Amino acid sequence: MKNCLNDAIHRFELRSLTLILLRTEHASVQSEISKLRRAPAEHIYVKSKSECLPGTRDKIQKSLLEHLKEAKDRFVWLRGSPGMGKTAISMSVASTLMEKGLLAASFFWDKNQAGTGLDSIELFPSTLAC
């Protein structure tokens, strides 16, 4: 009985110490991340583009929203010629996900906002980390 109690106490102490170490490490990482330069890259900061007009591109938006419901499908890459509506579709999908409380993050480049970090890939890694 005494051995069982001692083992339980030892496991509790070990787990408590591990939890303290994890919290300390987490705080350290958060502190370092907070020092990184970050671009205001969420879809709400894009000034030069807008969402899709009501009733337009509904099929692709629905398809993307269905795709993103799956935990394994966390990213979407839209490609196409300029002016095809990639940004509008992305902004519409991001807005829909935000309204539903499902948007984890969004990152939009905006070449029309020079000097903000949105016009180049320079701040992408640090913004993503934040």
Q: How confident is the model at residue 70 (pLDDT cuts 50, 70, 90)?
A: confident
Q: How confident is the model at residue 113 (pLDDT cuts 50, 70, 90)?
A: confident
Amino acid in the structure at residue 68: L
Confidence at residue 49, expressed as pLDDT on a 0 to 100 scale: 75
Q: How confident is the model at residue 105 (pLDDT cuts 50, 70, 90)?
A: confident
12-29 average pLDDT score: 92
Long-range Cβ contacts of 104-111 (<8 Å, 24+ apart)? 104/74, 105/42, 106/41, 106/42, 106/43, 107/41, 107/42, 108/41, 108/42, 108/43, 108/45, 108/46, 109/41, 110/45, 110/46, 110/47, 110/48, 110/49
CA distances from 107 to 11, 48, 100, 121 (A): 44, 15, 18, 11
Confidence at residue 61, expressed as pLDDT on a 0 to 100 scale: 93
Q: How confident is the model at residue 124 (pLDDT cuts 50, 70, 90)?
A: confident
32-55 average pLDDT score: 80
- Whether the pLDDT of residue 89 is over 90: the answer is yes
